[in-house]
Structure 1
Amino acid sequence: MSELWVLDQHQVDKQAIAQAFGQAARGYDQHAEFQRQVADRLLAKLPSQLNGLRVLDLGCGTGYCSDVLKQRGASVVCADISVDMLCAARERCGDEGMSYFVADAERLPFSNDEFDLVVSSLALQWCRDLSLALSEIKRTTKPGGKVMFSTLLDGSLHELKASWSKIDAYQHVNDFISLNQVNIALAQSGCINHQLDLPTMIMWYRRALDLMRDLKGIGANHVEGRSRGFTSRDKFKQLEHHYREFANQTEQLPASYRVCIGTILL
């Protein structure tokens, strides 16, 4: 039987992140091509059959990974900071063999040694302390189990950041951690046996505004330090002008992502 467990949310920043993703839940899949591509790379590293395994999909979003894991025979626990995302995941995946928890990755509501496998795709970059999240993941994974995660590294969306920097002094693009910080977090959490793949992935757009709409559409528009005021039409015109400096020969605009795909053996 599936249940939806809700935890108290104490931190203001986590509440803001949850709200941003919750508002995006209904239309998320229309804007999430990059997220699906990263998830596919991560899932390709897993066996085609996961029968009998209890798997945590941490930061499950609308359940793209969860659905694949279920189809491969796993018993899947979906966890996300947003209730609305979990509702969307439930609509996709149903209740059979599934359960749904609202949870903060830095404070997981699960017992020690509960999961055979933990999967987390493009969720850990929203954590304040990656080492704490990894420690929680390690705590809840059985000895001999595996963790598969993906996160974004510094340099992601550098074209967008550079273009905005020519317009005003506000922060319009989230900062992401460095590879060195990932390695430090892995060491601090005791996740010693690991392998990291570091692809750079590029999505192409006709306009900078289309990229901005995708970022808003997936809920990734919570940026600390940004202006809370209305962004004028003139500023968006300036953004289009400056972003054109990165256009290719066919006038397509790149959005570059530095991705870290990690495998941890416990």
Structure 2
Amino acid sequence: MSQAESLTFDSVEQLNEEKAAIKAAFGRAAATYDKSAAFQRRVGHALLDLEEEWSGKRVLDLGCGTGYFTEQLLHKGANVVALDLSEQMLDQARLRCGGSAEYVSGDAECLPFDDDSFDIAFSSLALQWCNDLSIPLRELRRVVKPGGKVIFSTLIDGSLQELKQAWQLVDLHQHVNDFLTLNQVKLALAQSGSQNYTLECKPLVERYPSAMALMRDLKGIGATHLSEGRNAGLSGKARFSALENAYRAFQFEDGTVPATYQVGFGAIHND
């Protein structure tokens, strides 16, 4: 085996390990997700508003999680296929929606569907977990019919900046994932073959009673896997106390603290 082949094999193995770790993190969070997902629901409802006509459409809910938006789409009259990487999340979606939807365990980077299978693809806050955004975007375009639409939301660079800055005052480890810049998302869209699209980045602020309350919500939804570095595990009250103290620099007058997200809302018209 040549050095190039070895490097390629190692890279694939690393990506597979990365995906397995993400899958495991969300699987562990399946039972607690809904209690911690207020922000995810806020974003998903905003994404739903990008499309007015759902009734009678065959819709892919990619990264369906516990099926909250699968249920919303069903209420709007859509015929929904709910897909998630985590079987535990799909179990929760089945409990929520019963036999009204179809459930598929699958990978956004290699969708298990024929070309032109859907009228609309809907994906909210799932694609940022893919290593190369252009790949799932290309897959979504493939499975959506000509004249159909892909609508998605993803986190953009600058998300959770307060938490990132506070941790930097505590230690030198990485505790917050890096996200693509808006220009990098545009590049991924171009690489996926998307030409007719809209993309907008909106800052959304969530308020928490404390930094630890934010951390609990991130753990509750399974957003604990770091794409770079593995030194996320922390122990000791002193370190968390230091985080709280550092976070007070961002505190509002009412004592709450912000978590600012930069959210990219995209719509691809599949010409």
C-alpha contact 2:182 2:201 (8 A) present in aligned 1: no
Aligned CA distance change for structure 1 residues 211 and 229 (closer, same or farther; 3 Å) = closer
Give the Cα–Cα distance (whole angstroms) in 1 for the partners of residues 208 and 232 of structure 2.
26
Identity of aligned residues (%): 52
Greater percentage in helix: 2
Match of 1:67 in 2: 71
Match of 2:30 among 25, 31, 34: 25
Match of 1:12 in 2: 17
Compute the displacement of 1:260 (Å).
0.3
C-alpha contact 2:137 2:189 (8 A) present in aligned 1: yes
Compute the displacement of 1:184 (Å).
0.2
Alignment of 1:70-219 (within 5 A): 70-96=74-100, 98-219=101-222
| Secondary structure of 1:120 counterpart | strand
Give the Cα–Cα distance (whole angstroms) in 2 for the partners of residues 12 and 40 of structure 1.
32
Give the Cα–Cα distance (whole angstroms) in 2 for the partners of residues 72 and 156 of structure 1.
31
C-alpha contact 2:84 2:107 (8 A) present in aligned 1: yes
Compute the displacement of 1:171 (Å).
0.7
| Secondary structure of 1:221 counterpart | coil
1:234 and 2:234 correspond: no
Match of 1:55 in 2: 59
After TM superposition, the runs of 4+ consecutive aligned structure 1 residues lying more than 6 A away are: none
C-alpha contact 2:226 2:232 (8 A) present in aligned 1: no
Give the Cα–Cα distance (whole angstroms) in 2 for the partners of residues 228 and 134 of structure 1.
29
Normalised by the size of structure 1, how large is the TM-score?
A: 0.93
Aligned CA distance change for structure 1 residues 78 and 234 (closer, same or farther; 3 Å) = same
- Deviation digits for residues 96-154 of structure 1 (CA, Å, limit 9, x no counterpart): 3x111111111111111100000000000000010011000011110000011000001
| Secondary structure of 1:94 counterpart | helix
C-alpha contact 2:175 2:232 (8 A) present in aligned 1: no
RMSD across aligned C-alpha pairs, in angstroms?
1.1
Partner AA of 2:36 in structure 1: H
Compute the displacement of 1:232 (Å).
1.7
- Deviation digits for residues 206-242 of structure 1 (CA, Å, limit 9, x no counterpart): 1100000000000001113131544221110000000
Match of 2:4 in 1: none
Give the Cα–Cα distance (whole angstroms) in 1 for the partners of residues 119 and 242 of structure 2.
50
C-alpha contact 2:81 2:103 (8 A) present in aligned 1: yes
Give the Cα–Cα distance (whole angstroms) in 2 for the partners of residues 137 and 44 of structure 1.
19
Give the Cα–Cα distance (whole angstroms) in 1 for the partners of residues 157 and 234 of structure 2.
27
Compute the displacement of 1:52 (Å).
2.2
Give the Cα–Cα distance (whole angstroms) in 1 for the partners of residues 50 and 185 of structure 2.
20
- Deviation digits for residues 175-222 of structure 1 (CA, Å, limit 9, x no counterpart): 111001100000011111111122100001111000000000000011
Unaligned runs of 5+ in 1: 1-9
Partner AA of 1:218 in structure 2: I
Compute the displacement of 1:74 (Å).
1.1
| Secondary structure of 1:105 counterpart | coil
Match of 2:257 among 253, 258, 265: 253
Unaligned runs of 5+ in 2: 1-14
Partner AA of 1:195 in structure 2: T
Normalised by the size of structure 2, how large is the TM-score?
A: 0.92
